[in-house]
Amino acid sequence: MQYIGYLLVVIHLFLLGWSAGGFSEMIFSNVPWTPYTNLDFPKWLLPIHWGSVMITSIGFLIGYFTKWSGTPEFMLAAYTMLFTICVIETFGFMTSTSKYIAMVAELVVYTAILIILFKNNSFG
């Protein structure tokens, strides 16, 4: 189970970096990488999108490293927030032909991580 914890830390570090990059793309007109923010999303949605990813990743990392007992419940709320935004983006703005597959995959990943968090005593 220790390795799963490390994997979850790596995933949430990636999400933190991804959201920091997304915020950078919002703030600066030029970034030193190919922008990855979905151009289908309206500008008003981007702070909500990137902010929710950042809150989720920071919350997980703090909870994991401090062994906070409320981490599973926090992550349930955070993933609910992320999935709600995903549904809004998928049905309201995305144009990709694989958008529904991506949405279902996101839900499956969130569900799997939550099962791990709620079933394992070392996560809370």
Instruction: Report pTM.
Output: 0.92
Model confidence over 4-24: pLDDT tens digits?
999 999 999 999 999 999 999
Q: Which domain holds residue 33?
A: 2-123
The predicted structure's pLDDT at residue 86: 97
**Contact in structure between 66 and 56 (CB atoms under 8 Å):** no
Model confidence over 45-98: pLDDT tens digits?
999 999 999 999 999 999 999 999 999 999 999 999 999 999 999 999 999 999
For residue 87, give Cα distances in angstroms to 61, 78, 106, 111. Answer: 25, 14, 10, 15
Q: Please, which pLDDT band fits residue 121 given cuts at 50, 70 and 90?
A: confident
How many domains is the chain built from? 1
